[in-house]
Amino acid sequence: MRIQKYKNRIAAIVETTPERVFLYWKGRVALYAVLKAMGVGEEDEVIIPAFTCVVVPNAIIYLGAKPVYVDISPDTYNMDISKLESAITPRTKVIICQNTFGLSSNLEQITEFARKHTLFTVEDCTHGFGGYYKGKPNGSFCDAAFYSTQWNKPYSTGIGGFLVVNNKSLLESVKALEHEKIKPGLLDNITLIMLLFLREYLINKHTYYFFINLYRILSKKNLIIGSTQGDEMSDIKIPINYFKEMSFVQIVAGIKRLKKLKQVNYLRKKNAKDYTAFLKANNKKFVRESLFDDHLFLKYPILVRDRELFFSNARKNKIILGDWFISPLYPIKENLCLWFYDKDLHTNSVEASKKMLNLPTDIEDNRKIKRFLKDNLDLIE
């Protein structure tokens, strides 16, 4: 059966058994499932980095719990662990660590700290599937890890996500939730097939910005299946049909696209190394080699001074740049307090998001990008 085949393939990459792999419509749904299985509910608190995607605090809030943010370190774009202790209260139940852009957090210290305080840990590996930390696949260190196969992720099934449960004691409660999952409808499957077709055959460097902007507008208005739907950005009530199963189309696409993972990950690492060398040689901010182990670098983060100008120069040159985390609760720009976020408390996260852009890492030839960076050096921090 295809479901089993897909689980086997995923399990082989994260070095676990297929019984520990659970499939969902999106990565955020996998997070919601594991938090529910951990018993997170009313009055509980869940610690997350203050530089993340809004769907992460959403999953916590949907369960009646409260997200508590920890500011990032400007070097790693991950939680500054020196600030972790002060975020703990008697209500804390879980700590979520994140592979921001593929970079791992200080996982040994965080998991040790969690053990000391009897807290669960979850690794947000939505950017890090296929990467390694201290010789182990990303997602191995915490009680559970969730992954995403949305458009720009390590491999894509349009949208999609899965969970890997490392802590045996959680397995039964995650399994018990399986029957609650809603089956995707025919329309979901047909729309996904259309979107995957469009992505594969019609999107290229000439059409990218047109289609990405159109897709974002349509999904914001809930007119098409989107990465982040309108109601997830404006409201913090759980959307209808949120707890959805992975569809057949996603499973078939996943099995097919996983085959290319190794090859693409090789490119990601190679390009990241090149960007690092380039930025270092030009006295610009780069990700220190000592901070990456065998990371994936889904995107390469850079900081720029006049982002609008930089972005429009890139567009003119048909260079595709990522805008992940141009706000600290990406993609929300306003009313962050609705998500319990206080901008004054997380200055590193807010400052990084003001200047953030990301370079692509899944390309064969990065010479054009480096030429572009060279021509725009004065705008790079």
Ligand X SMILES: Cc1ncc(COP(=O)(O)O)c(C=O)c1O
Work out whether 53 is an interface residue with ligand X (CB under 6 A).
yes
- Choosing from 10, 14, 48, 52, the residue that interacts with ligand X (CB under 6 A) is 52
- Chosen residue from 14, 21, 55, 373 binding ligand X by CB under 6 A: 55
295 contributes a contact to ligand X by CB under 6 A: no
Size of the site for ligand X (CB under 6 A): 14
Query: What does the alpha-carbon distance between residue 334 and residue 350 come to, in Å, rounded to a whole number?
Result: 12
Task: Outline where the chain has alpha helix (H).
Answer: 2-14, 27-37, 55-62, 107-116, 168-176, 186-201, 208-220, 230-234, 248-258, 261-281, 307-316, 347-355, 367-375
Please say which residue, 148 or 353, places its beta carbon nearer to ligand X. 148
Using rule CB under 6 A, residue 246 touches ligand X = no
Burial of 197 (0-12, 13-18, 19+ CB in 10 A): exposed
Contact between 150 and ligand X by CB under 6 A: the answer reads yes
Choose between 125 and 379: whose C-beta lies nearer to ligand X.
Answer: 125
Task: Rank residues 242 and 286 by Cβ distance to ligand X and give the closer one.
Answer: 242
Contact flag: residue 27 with ligand X (CB under 6 A): yes
What single-letter DSSP state applies at residue 140? Answer: S
Which CB sits closer to ligand X, 353 or 376? 353
* Nearest Cα residue to 24 out of 181, 234, 220, 238: 181
Residue from the set 161, 184, 328, 360 that interacts with ligand X by CB under 6 A? 161
Closest distance to ligand X from the beta carbon of 54 (Å): 9
Pull the structure tokens for residue 278.
Answer: 């380039």
Distance (Å, rounded) from C-alpha 89 to C-alpha 61?
Answer: 17
- Rule CB under 6 A: is residue 227 a binding residue for ligand X? yes
Quote the DSSP letter at residue 362: S
The residue range among 26-34, 36-44, 173-181, 198-206 that interacts with ligand X, by the rule CB under 6 A, is 26-34
Q: What is the Cα–Cα distance from 164 to 281, expressed in whole angstroms? A: 40
The SS3 call for residue 135 is: coil
Q: Does 327 bind ligand X (CB under 6 A)?
A: no
Tokens of 41: 């509910």
Among 16, 76, 78, 98, binds ligand X (CB under 6 A): 98
Q: Do the bridges between strand 144-148 and strand 45-49 make them parallel or antiparallel, or are there none, so unpaired?
A: unpaired
Binding mask 101-140 for ligand X (x = CB under 6 A): -----------------------x-x--------------
* Stretch binding ligand X (CB under 6 A), from 53-61, 196-204, 254-262, 299-307: 53-61
* Residues across the chain: 381
Give least dist CB 25 to ligand X, A: 8
Alpha helices for 98-167 (secondary structure H): 107-116
**Residue 319: which residues within 8 A CB-CB, separation 6 or more?**
205, 368, 369, 372
Report the interface residues with ligand X, using CB under 6 A. 26-28, 52-53, 55-56, 98, 124, 126, 148, 150, 161, 227
